[in-house]
């Protein structure tokens, strides 16, 4: 009933966008192909940003293959992936050695983190309608709130071109995997409307490695977006995405640190919805941009043991914000000033059966004010941002960031520097979570805080056909929240030692010929607390993708993703163990049968690497898949 209500509401709102399309030029046509949003909350050119950002566009996404988002972002520097088994199992991403719940994920501007756990579960992020993925690394709380202490990953779904725009895909392959997706959109002079959806299922593998049954996974996605201009000078936009999943997994039911071959199932429904109202004005030479948003993140999760429901959790986040951006010129200087006010409410309802101590209802409210200023003067760019958060549970938080960049036009190079402070509030699970005989929350936790700086250089080569960048970063995290297994039941605590993170990130792309493109990255990371390396933070990461598009019937791409040695914890002995380094090779071969029709073959883990991201959890062997794509854009 909840899902039906959301879609009726979304359809009603988005239906308004398609009424009476008039004839006016689409403002997006005047925008450059590449802009950054994570750098300033408003579109800015890459040459105006003063933080580290990686953008993967449609070409890069297609070259990486139709994989889960976690596999796609391996191409970006600084991101380490931890997957507890095969596709569909708990998947975490740590940016620059941060915690898994320190990375904010935005899907068409909607926060995708679970209101219960405080982190995004990348296990369920499998999309076939993405236009771009943008990754901003480092302390980003000043613009994006407490969940962005380690970085931001912003996903933008594809918008239809003028007229009818459609595509379908069907794929099958290893591990009894099947996938079908479809997308239809219609673009008119004053907007567009689009609907997309998909179904994915995999027979899986035995996660425990004990020779038991295979743990399967199913994922369904439905997405509706729309935009309508010309409403008395305003533009109305809407998006609503529903993700439903069912997955089986093995679990450690006797708490000896090793997985047992048992029947445990989790079913979830997630809704990410947004209504946006915006307009552009001119006042005495000043360009004013108004942007008001109503956002909803909703997650319903149900757990089952041997077919019997053992618990249900409902987390909901409602956010309302308004920002005003002014842009003006004074001589050769360009100015940008943004003001933001945002209110957010997080709700949690937990039901583990009548009389269970885990049953509870919680609510947290946050009010925030933020400002961001940017100055572009000839080759110099300066930025300054501040934020004040009033949280009903914790002390008021003040975060800030300063940045500077200078373009050396004579050599096509650019240097930048930024320094800032960010915070991360404890999540509802850390504060109030309760599992009898295993875990109890700690309502006395204090927010984590991080200070960090980075310095970088970007160099353009071969008249723009190639470029590379290098970044050195350094961060310190205080009051890090961890799970203390030295007490019974386990609980969450603030660490007394400072966690330090330093590293180097390299990134490059090269249009070798008109047919051949190469892009890749490499990272060296040192993440320590009290002199010991922190778990699940590889010291080296690297990725390279070669994409061949000759403009003929055949095309191909190949990728290699390297993850270096990393430590983890054996929860049977609570000793530190070392996980071996590994390299995952993937490739795809595409054949355009005729315009609008393509057959492809792709492979994952082609060298059949035996590896683990999390100690004790088995991962998939080599996988081969064949697919068909049809569409107006093929």
- Tell me which DSSP letter residue 427 carries: P
DSSP 496-514: SSPEEEEEEEEEEEEE-SS
Average pLDDT over residues 554-580: 93
In this prediction, residues 508-528 reach a mean pLDDT of 95
Tell me what the mean pLDDT of segment 65-88 comes to. Answer: 91
**Per-residue confidence band for 33, with pLDDT thresholds at 50, 70 and 90:** low
Any idea what the CATH number is for the domain that residue 130 is in?
A: 2.40.170.20
Domain that holds residue 359: 2-631
Give the mean pLDDT of 458-481: 95
Cβ 524 vs Cβ 540: under 8 Å: yes
Number of neighbouring beta carbons within 10 Å of residue 33: 5
C-alpha 118/C-alpha 114 separation (Å) is 5
The whole-number pLDDT of residue 409 equals 94
* Longest CA–CA separation in the chain, Å: 73
Sequence-distant (≥ 6) Cβ neighbours of residue 516 within 8 angstroms: 546, 547, 548, 549
Which residues face 220 on adjacent strands? Answer: 199, 244
pLDDT at 31 over 60: no
Does this model's pTM top 0.85? My answer is: yes
8 Å CB contact between 383 and 430: no
Round to whole Å and give the CA distance between 553 and 536.
Answer: 43
Burial 134-149 (b: 16+ CB within 10 A, else e): bbbbbbbbbbbbbbbb
Evaluate if residue 158 carries a pLDDT over 80: yes
Q: What is the pLDDT of residue 437?
A: 65
**Span 56-77, average pLDDT:** 91
Closest CA to 506 of 546, 454, 471, 545: 471
Q: Can you tell me whether residue 432 is helix, strand or coil?
A: helix
Section 4-30 average pLDDT: 36
Percent of the chain with pLDDT over 90: 70
pLDDT in tens, 84-95: 988 889 999 999
In this prediction, residues 197-219 reach a mean pLDDT of 91
Segment 274-301 shows an average pLDDT of: 95
* pLDDT score at 436: 67
Determine contact, residues 97/527, Cβ cutoff 8 Å. yes
Q: Would you say residue 11 has pLDDT above 60?
A: no
Beta-strand relationship, 177-188 and 191-205: antiparallel
**What pLDDT, on the 0 to 100 scale, is given for residue 65?**
83
The beta strand positions in 284-438, using DSSP E, are 286-305, 308-330, 333-351, 360-377, 380-391, 397-408, 413-424, 434-435
Looking at the structure of the chain, the number of domains it has is 1
Please check the confidence at residue 30 and state whether its pLDDT lies above 60: no
């Amino acid at each position: 009933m909840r899902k039906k209500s959301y879609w009726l509401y979304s359809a009603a709102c988005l239906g308004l966008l398609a009424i009476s399309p008039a004839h006016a030029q689409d403002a997006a046509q005047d925008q450059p192909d590449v802009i950054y949003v994570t750098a300033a909350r408003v579109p800015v050119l890459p040459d105006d940003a003063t933080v580290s950002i990686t953008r993967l566009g449609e070409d890069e996404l297609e070259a990486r293959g139709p994989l889960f988002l976690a596999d796609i972002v391996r191409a970006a520097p600084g991101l380490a992936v931890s997957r507890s088994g095969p596709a569909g199992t708990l998947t975490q991403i740590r940016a620059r050695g941060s915690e898994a719940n320190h990375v904010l994920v935005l899907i068409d501007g909607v926060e995708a983190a679970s209101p219960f756990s405080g982190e995004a579960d990348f296990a369920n992020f499998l999309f076939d309608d993405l236009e771009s993925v943008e990754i901003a690394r480092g302390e980003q709380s000043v613009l994006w709130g407490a969940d962005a202490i380690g970085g931001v990953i912003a996903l933008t779904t594809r918008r239809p071109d003028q007229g009818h725009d459609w595509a379908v895909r069907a794929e099958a392959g290893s591990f009894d995997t099947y996938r079908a997706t479809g997308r239809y959109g219609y673009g008119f002079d004053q907007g567009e409307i689009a609907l997309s959806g998909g179904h994915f299922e995999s027979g899986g593998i035995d996660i425990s490695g004990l020779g038991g049954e295979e743990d399967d996974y199913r994922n369904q996605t439905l997405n509706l977006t729309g935009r309508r201009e010309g409403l008395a000078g305003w533009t109305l936009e809407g998006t609503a995405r529903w993700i439903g999943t069912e997955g089986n997994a093995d679990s450690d039911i006797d708490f000896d640190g090793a997985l047992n071959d048992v029947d445990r199932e989790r079913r979830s429904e997630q809704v990410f919805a947004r209504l946006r109202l915006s307009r552009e004005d001119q006042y005495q030479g000043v360009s004013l941009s108004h942007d008001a948003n109503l956002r909803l993140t909703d997650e319903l999760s149900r757990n089952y043991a041997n077919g019997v429901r053992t618990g249900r959790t409902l987390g909901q986040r409602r956010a309302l914000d308004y920002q005003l951006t002014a842009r003006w010129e004074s001589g050769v200087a360009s100015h940008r000033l943004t003001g933001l006010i945002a209110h957010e409410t997080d709700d949690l309802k937990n039901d583990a059966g009548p009389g269970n101590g885990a049953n509870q209802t919680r609510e947290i409210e946050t009010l925030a004010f933020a400002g961001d200023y940017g100055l572009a003067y000839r080759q110099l760019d300066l930025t300054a941002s501040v934020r004040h958060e009033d949280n009903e549970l914790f002390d008021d938080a003040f975060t800030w960031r300063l940045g500077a960049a200078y373009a050396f036009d004579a050599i096509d190079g650019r240097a930048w520097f930024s320094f800032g402070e960010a915070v991360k509030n404890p999540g509802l699970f850390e504060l109030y979570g309760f599992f009898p005989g295993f875990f109890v929350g700690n309502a006395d936790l204090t927010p984590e805080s991080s200070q960090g700086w980075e310095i970088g250089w970007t160099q353009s080569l071969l008249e723009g056909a190639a470029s590379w960048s290098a970044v050195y970063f350094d961060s310190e995290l205080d009051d890090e929240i961890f799970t203390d297994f030295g007490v019974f039941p386990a609980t969450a605590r603030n660490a007394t030692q400072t966690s330090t993170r330093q590293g180097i990130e390299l990134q490059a792309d090269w249009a070798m010929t008109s047919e051949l493109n190469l892009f890749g990255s490499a990272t060296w990371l040192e993440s320590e607390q009290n002199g010991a390396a922190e778990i699940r933070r590889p010291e080296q990461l690297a990725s390279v993708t070669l994409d061949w598009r000759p403009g003929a019937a055949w095309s191909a791409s190949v990728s290699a993703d390297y993850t270096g040695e990393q430590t983890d914890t054996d929860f049977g002995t609570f000793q530190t163990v070392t996980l071996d380094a590994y390299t995952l090779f993937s490739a795809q071969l595409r054949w355009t049968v005729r315009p609008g029709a393509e057959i492809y073959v792709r492979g994952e883990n082609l060298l059949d690497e035996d590896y683990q991201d999390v100690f004790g959890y088995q991962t998939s062997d080599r996988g081969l898949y064949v697919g068909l794509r049809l569409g107006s854009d093929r």
